[in-house]
Structure 1
Amino acid sequence: MFSTELIIAFFTLTLLEIVLGIDNIIFIAILAGKLPKEQQNFARQLGISLAVVSRIGLLFSLSWVLKLKEPLFTILETSISGKDLVLIAGGLFLIGKATYEIHHKVTVVHEAHKEGKAPASLFWMLAQVIAIDVVFSLDSVITAVGITDNIPVIVAAVIVSVIVMLIFSGAIVRFVDDHPAIKLLALSFLLLIGVLLVGEGFHHKIPKGYVYFAMAFSLGIELLQMWQESNVRKAQIANQPASDASTTGH
């Protein structure tokens, strides 16, 4: 039960689930930010909880999940399985959703139209979260089974990773929601993940490490820019009294 092999598998899976869960948190952050303020925290927690339910549900349906890897038909000499169809559909959904949100963010909208627009529906937000949870969970479960076939270890890793995500997701959601540039980066990340899922569905495997590195690098540059802007504002505030005094003297 507590062999070195299982302990290593547990910590490896926990870290893997946390990394894979970043996709979910960002997607939920984007959707929750469109809800009324009083519903955002509840929607975030419920969305992440649905993620763990879908993962554990797929784990206990493992025989069915593995059958999804069996080819159904062939397109241009590429065999397509049930898993491939789910990944392609999920990837196209992410590409469409991220493109729509990016267009919405960068397009100038008149304030009167913004005020007259009804807030997003909690039900519609959760429906989208459930749909994308299934895609991310399928990818996560198949990856986890490739590391170990011990179901209790996988379930424990999923539960621990979700607890970690629940603890830090609030700060991540607020940070993404408060910084428009970070939100655009997050949407770009989801767009790239969608492309990866479609590519994987057609058996063109692109290592996710490339995308994570690119996004981490972009995030680092953006954080440096925010730090610089913060220092400039502090310097302007610090110099303000001296400027006022010199103006009064003249």
Structure 2
Amino acid sequence: MLHLLTDPHAWLALVTLSVLEIVLGIDNIVFISVLISRLPKRQAKLARQIGLGLAFIFRVALLLTLTWIMRLTAPVFAILGNEFSWRDLILIAGGLFLLAKGTSEIHAEVEAEYEEEQSSGGSNGFGWVIAQLVAIDLVFSLDSIITAIGLAQDVEIMIAAVMIAMLVMYFAAVPVSAFIQKYPTTKMLALSFLLLIGVALVADGLGFHIPRGYIYFAMAFAGAVEVFNVLALRNRRKRPKTLTRK
């Protein structure tokens, strides 16, 4: 353990893995932000803390069971010459869940069902949100940890990188959630991201890897366009006040 503190390769691996884990955590933040947007403010804060806490617990728990994780990548059956492992099945299930969730949320937004569902929220809504957070946290954690295993050899480095990434996610989740709630159009964009991520997970499970760089570039480009839309909206709101003063 102590020799890692003086090993430059260990520090390089820690920085590289931390950055990668933070990038992979963007998916988690978007999903949590979309889910809690339908909860009252007090419940939303608690759900956010539970969601991020579960994400951290799942990641560390999976890291401590590396032998079991590696077995998940071994083929369990084949269909038409294509081999599938438990990891593939989990990614496919998680991707289909995100596609279904994103589609249902977009439908609710288009049909203006938001206010009705929020007013009838209650404990059942909160419990359902937590259940969904548990399911998707497990999927994101599995994908994140398998990536970490491929980049680093020391469990200590992996755990440290996960802890750094989770701290960044914790502080980033609040402004991201607030931004999505303040500007409703960004929620539709976030839901579109969920559909994109869902397609990528299903494709990975089926053996068609989509480079994450393409996905994150598309998300960053769309996010930048939305920022300009928000700035334009702010300026339009301020303009009548300025004219009135004159």
**Fold-level similarity (TM above 0.5):** yes
Q: Which of 53, 56, 62 is matched with 2:60 structurally?
A: 56
Partners of 1:64 and 1:114 in 2: CA distance? 41
Which secondary structure state, in structure 2, belongs to the residue aligned with residue 108 of structure 1?
coil
Partners of 1:50 and 1:126 in 2: CA distance? 10
Which residue is equivalent to 1:26? 30
Q: How many residues align?
A: 241
Residue 116 of structure 1 deviates from its aligned partner by 5.7
Supply the AA of the counterpart residue of 2:77: F
CA deviations over 1:88-143 (Å, ceiling 9, x no partner): 000000110011001111113496x4576334522221111111111111110110
Which residue is equivalent to 1:78? 82
1:218 and 2:222 correspond: yes
1:169 and 2:173 correspond: yes
Tell which deviates more after alignment, 119-128 or 22-31: 119-128
1:191 and 2:195 correspond: yes
Partners of 2:114 and 2:94 in 1: CA distance? 32
* Identity between Structure 1 and Structure 2 (%): 44
Q: For the structure 1 residues 44 and 109, does the alpha-carbon distance in structure 2 shift closer, same or farther, using more than 3 Å as the test? A: closer
Which residue is equivalent to 1:247? none
Which secondary structure state, in structure 2, belongs to the residue aligned with residue 69 of structure 1?
coil
Q: Which of 90, 93, 97 is matched with 1:89 structurally?
A: 93
Whether the 8 Å contact between 2:39 and 2:121 is mirrored in structure 1 is no
Larger Rg: 1
Supply the AA of the counterpart residue of 1:164: V
Supply the AA of the counterpart residue of 1:117: S
Which secondary structure state, in structure 1, belongs to the residue aligned with residue 38 of structure 2?
coil
Which secondary structure state, in structure 1, belongs to the residue aligned with residue 76 of structure 2?
strand
Which residue is equivalent to 2:41? 37
Which residue is equivalent to 1:142? 146
Partners of 1:128 and 1:118 in 2: CA distance? 15
Tell which deviates more after alignment, 84-93 or 120-129: 120-129
Q: TM-score, normalised by structure 2?
A: 0.93
Residue 82 of structure 1 deviates from its aligned partner by 0.7
Q: Which of 80, 97, 112 is matched with 1:108 structurally?
A: 112
Partners of 2:151 and 2:196 in 1: CA distance? 25
Residue 28 of structure 1 deviates from its aligned partner by 0.8
Which residue is equivalent to 1:11? 15
Residue 215 of structure 1 deviates from its aligned partner by 1.4
Partners of 2:172 and 2:114 in 1: CA distance? 34
Q: Which of 230, 233, 237 is matched with 1:229 structurally?
A: 233
Whether the 8 Å contact between 2:94 and 2:139 is mirrored in structure 1 is yes
Supply the AA of the counterpart residue of 2:133: V
CA RMSD for the aligned pairs? 1.6
Partners of 1:234 and 1:8 in 2: CA distance? 48
Residue 56 of structure 1 deviates from its aligned partner by 0.5
Which residue is equivalent to 2:121? 118
Partners of 2:245 and 2:163 in 1: CA distance? 54
Supply the AA of the counterpart residue of 2:202: V
Q: For the structure 1 residues 105 and 80, does the alpha-carbon distance in structure 2 shift closer, same or farther, using more than 3 Å as the test? A: same
Runs of 4+ in 1 over 6 A off after TM superposition: none
Whether the 8 Å contact between 2:60 and 2:159 is mirrored in structure 1 is yes
Supply the AA of the counterpart residue of 1:26: V
Structure 2, unpaired ranges of 5+: none
Which residue is equivalent to 1:154? 158
